[in-house]
Structure 1
Amino acid sequence: MTPQNWTPGDGGAGDKRHAPATLRNRDVIAEVLRDWLPPSGMVLEVASGSGEHALHFAAAFPALAWQPSDPDADALTSIAAWSAEAGLANISPPLRLDASASDWPIVAADALLCINMVHISPWAATLGLFAGAARLLAAGAPLILYGPFVEADLPTAESNLAFDADLRARNPAWGLRDTAAVEAAAAEAGFAFAGRRAMPANNLMLLFRRV
């Protein structure tokens, strides 16, 4: 089946979905992950969306086990379809996981990656992400975020301002988050801010480590 273009939050039936941004950002994200991920162990990806990132990273990091997850049924179907087609031994069946929930269907991980969720979800999902990661990760383990953010000491790109307005029009609970607020939420949950990388298209990668 030909993958359908898809954005998180879209409805509709289908198997493999295609999020066009994944083709544009997966290689530059992988470059940073080579510096920030552990050499071995299990990576939990929260909000895996179409599953294309999980597939690409599982192939790029064969020494790591990849655990995709998402709360959306269509996303889970897409992740499973892409994974079945690839046949990679180091990618597990996707888990239904809602970041905002207090109970996650997994008890431990060696790293956590979350791409393009923080701005396309209520703030409670970000708070839940840090709380859940605190339960799963050992001291020193990385929690990595990717996406567009607002930084108080730097001007926000016009494209990001327009994107933020569009998100809030779609759902008032969505929108670009201030990095200071994200760092404060991380600290409250027991994470130290450990790194920032500027990425193409006015995105950032943020690294936090479990204290």
Structure 2
Amino acid sequence: MTIRIMVVDDHPVVRDGVSLLLRSDPAMQLVGAAESGRTAIERIAELAPDLVLLDLRMPDMLAPEVITELRKVHPSARIVVFTAHSDHQGLRAALEAGANGCLLKDVAGTDLVSALRRVLRDERVIDPRILPSADVQSDALARSGLTRREYEVLRLAAQGQTNPEIAESTGLTRNTVKTYLQAALHKLGARNRVEAISKASEAGLL
């Protein structure tokens, strides 16, 4: 099955470099690129990529803003921030906005392909040089028994989003959001979402 990839970066050398790196996996096809956040938002519906590689800083928008808008237009796409900055606070904001991963631009071709395949399997992939604490959070998630989707829905609930808002930002139906929240409550031993958020925070998940 062909994996459709879109690159959003204002540097042509990066776009060309990604194209070369992806050649190590014939299943991955670069279907298009954009040099600005606004162009990416305009083109994503037409290109319908399975995965978007997004630079942290675009000339017109920052990654968190772009992610939010891309999700509205094409919610099923996985979005990976591809950056040269390993310690930028914007990376955390991008993850909060719904990025599925963060990778540094010095990643080798085989490592990039492997990381992208993990993202497509619904894993959240973050280079440990970017956010070392993400490994701790992953361990906490494994201990909790929550699936990645259950955690994502609970995380958005912790930000104050209602079920309809969570459904819109994730591309899930309202009933599915409710099901994931109920499953998270059960696994955390919580009676309601407020208690679930509190227990998730104590467990190091939030």
Same fold (TM > 0.5): no
Structure with greater strand share of residues: 1
Bigger RCO (CA 8 Å, 6+ sep):
1
TM-score by length of 2: 0.36
More helix by share: 2
Question: What's the TM-score, normalizing by structure 1?
Answer: 0.35
Query: Which structure has the larger Rg?
Result: 2
